[in-house]
Structures are given as C-alpha cells and as structure tokens.
Amino acid sequence: MRFSISNIGWASVFALALSVFASERNSLSFSPSSGYKTFQLNTTGNVTRVLISNPPINLLDGNMIRDFDRLLTSLQTSPGQNSKVYIFSSADPTFFINHLDLHYVSTRNPPAPPFTPYDINTYINVTKKFATVPAILIGEISGKTISGGDEISVQLDMRFASTGAELSAPEVSLGVLHAIGGLQYLVRLIGPGRAAEYLLSATGANAKRMAEIGWVNQAFGTRKAMEAYVDALAARIGLFPQGGLNATKQGIRNGFGPRPGTVDEDIKTFNDLSQTPQTQSLVDRFLILGRNETKSEFELGLPGSVMQLYM
C-alpha cells in the first residue's frame, strides 16, 4: 500500500513516525562512538541522540570542546549525509553541561596537556556553528547547566527541561561576563530585565521558572515525560524535507541572532577582565573550593555556592 499525506492526514503521519521511533527507542542503547571522548551517538531514522558523558561533573573541558567541534564540523562539511535532528542529553542526572574548565582562565593553574589555551579558540568557533549547521539541534536539560553550559544551551534551536534542571550564568561572581554569545542570546530569549536579574545576581532558575520566562521551551515533571515529548517532536520534524528545515532555521536565526560584532566585543571584554588580579584570585579560589572541579559540595551547590568566594 502506498501512503500519501493527503490520504492519511498529518496526525496519522505523525503517529506512524512516532510509533516506529518509539519502538526502536525502547531498545535504544548508547555505546562509545568512534573518535568521541565525551559523546555517545545513537541514530534512529532521521534523528540522532547525543549522550554527553564527561565524569565527574560534565565539565566543559578540552575533550568536550573538541567533540562539539568534530560533530558540528561534520554536519557542515557533509550536508545531506547526516541526521536532520540532533538531541543532546546527559548521562549524569546532576549536570547537563557544566561550566568551562577554569584552568583555561587561570594563569597560575593553566590546563594540563594535552589541553592548551588554543582550545578556547576552538570553543569560540564551535558556538558560531550552532546557528548555521544544516540540522535542528535540541537540548534535553536535566540537572545543572552552568555558564559555558548555558552558552551552548541558549544557542541550540530548542531547549526542554525536566524537574531538577537549573540554568545559571554566574560569571559576574568571578568578575567577568557571560560571553561567547551566551549573554546576547539570553537577552533575546528572556528580555533585558530578566537577563539583568539573573546575570547580575549570579543566580539561576529552575525548570518551571525557565519555561515561564522563555529560557526553555517547556518544562516537564519527569525526565521520561520530557524524552517522550522530544522524541515525538524530533520524529515529526525528521519527516520533512531537509531544504525546508534548513531555510526555516536560517530565517529564524537571521531575525533573532546577535548584532554583528557584539559577540566578538564580549569575548574581548571577557579576555581583558579575566586577566585582572581580582578575577585571577577569584578563579583560583573557585578551583580550591571546588576541589579542582570534581563532584564537590561547592560544585554541586552552584550557583548559590559562589557566595563562598567572598567569605
């Protein structure tokens, strides 16, 4: 039998795609993907799930930066040969994507090999690719998403959160700003007043509040409910022609993204501020309190625990 949209209707097409996706999703298992150190990929139809796993705290370190770069570069250089939708989730229910490895900022405690300060240039290039890659990028946020993690999250095409999720960008507590596109996109999502409220106070918002103010699309009571909704959404999107998806994404981005040059200005300001004696002292104290970025009480308490920097 030959199906056509006119014969069975959009609702039936959606249900058919979802039933196939769900049946395969039930047996879904992630395995280490070749070449990636912090990503595990699993593809079903036109949808790829990217499970982020970088113990102990899903730190945005050199390994994760390079994995994002490799994935997004492959999407740019091989159009039509990849999935139409990519869903990012975390293997750690406590953290989605944590803050940038602060060794990249500390002059006294720089990153250990094989990581180098040049990884930051890679990270900047990564954030510029989210808006242009020919794929729809969705974030499933469970757990904390802090600073660099938020810079990535707000530049995805959509974000969904479950109970226990929290987004924050407490960079001001270190004497710097939410940069690399994070500030610009956040202002556009939640407005200048609310952005000022959260950024200047170095506080975060839970899933329900994030959905109320537009930081995420929707909030769900459980991770399972969130995944079911996102699976259905991704399955539906994956039915449609790539050209229409890409053109619509670019049209949205063209009317939404930061003004040319503003992100680069923020990066320069961040670099200048990060070299001040006060910020260097705060960064080193952060590393001490966080037990060198491990699953410490300080890291688990972010962003509230930043007040310990001033005690």
Per-residue pLDDT for the chain (311 aa), expressed as one digit of tens each? 333 334 434 444 344 444 445 444 544 555 556 789 999 999 999 999 999 999 999 999 999 999 999 999 999 998 778 999 999 999 999 999 999 999 999 999 999 888 888 899 999 999 999 999 999 999 999 999 999 999 999 999 999 999 999 999 999 999 999 999 999 999 999 999 999 999 999 999 999 999 999 999 999 999 999 999 999 999 999 999 999 999 999 999 998 888 879 999 999 999 999 999 999 999 999 999 999 999 999 999 999 999 999 99
Predicted local distance difference test score (pLDDT) of residue 30: 53
Q: What is the CATH number that goes with domain 5-310?
A: 3.90.226.10
Q: What is the pLDDT of residue 257?
A: 82
CA distance 282 to 285: 5
Q: Where are the domains of the chain?
A: 5-310
Q: Is the peptide bond before 56 cis (omega within 30 degrees of 0)?
A: yes
Residues composing the chain: 311
Query: What is the rounded distance in angstroms from the CA atom of residue 208 to the CA atom of residue 124?
Result: 30
Q: How far apart are CA 204 and CA 207, in angstroms?
A: 10
Helix (H, G, I), strand (E, B) or coil at 42: strand
What is residue 23's predicted lDDT score, i.e. its pLDDT?
47
Q: Which residues contact 93 (CB under 8 A, 6 or more apart)?
A: 142, 143, 164, 223
Contact 75, 128 (CB under 8 A): no
180: tokens are: 């690399």
Report the SS3 class of residue 238.
helix
CA distances from 146 to 23, 98, 105, 168 (A): 34, 5, 16, 5
Long-range pairs for 261-268 at CB < 8 Å and ≥24 separation?
262/184, 263/127, 263/128, 263/179, 263/180, 263/181, 263/184, 266/177, 266/179, 266/180, 266/181, 266/183, 266/184, 267/124, 267/179, 267/180
Q: What is the pLDDT of residue 25?
A: 52
Strand partners, 39: 52
Using one digit for the tens of pLDDT, what is the confidence trace for 133-166? Answer: 999 999 999 999 999 999 999 999 999 999 999 9
Residue 75 DSSP code: H
Of 276, 231, 289, the closest CA to residue 89 belongs to 231
pLDDT in tens, 83-123: 999 999 999 999 999 999 999 999 999 998 888 888 999 99
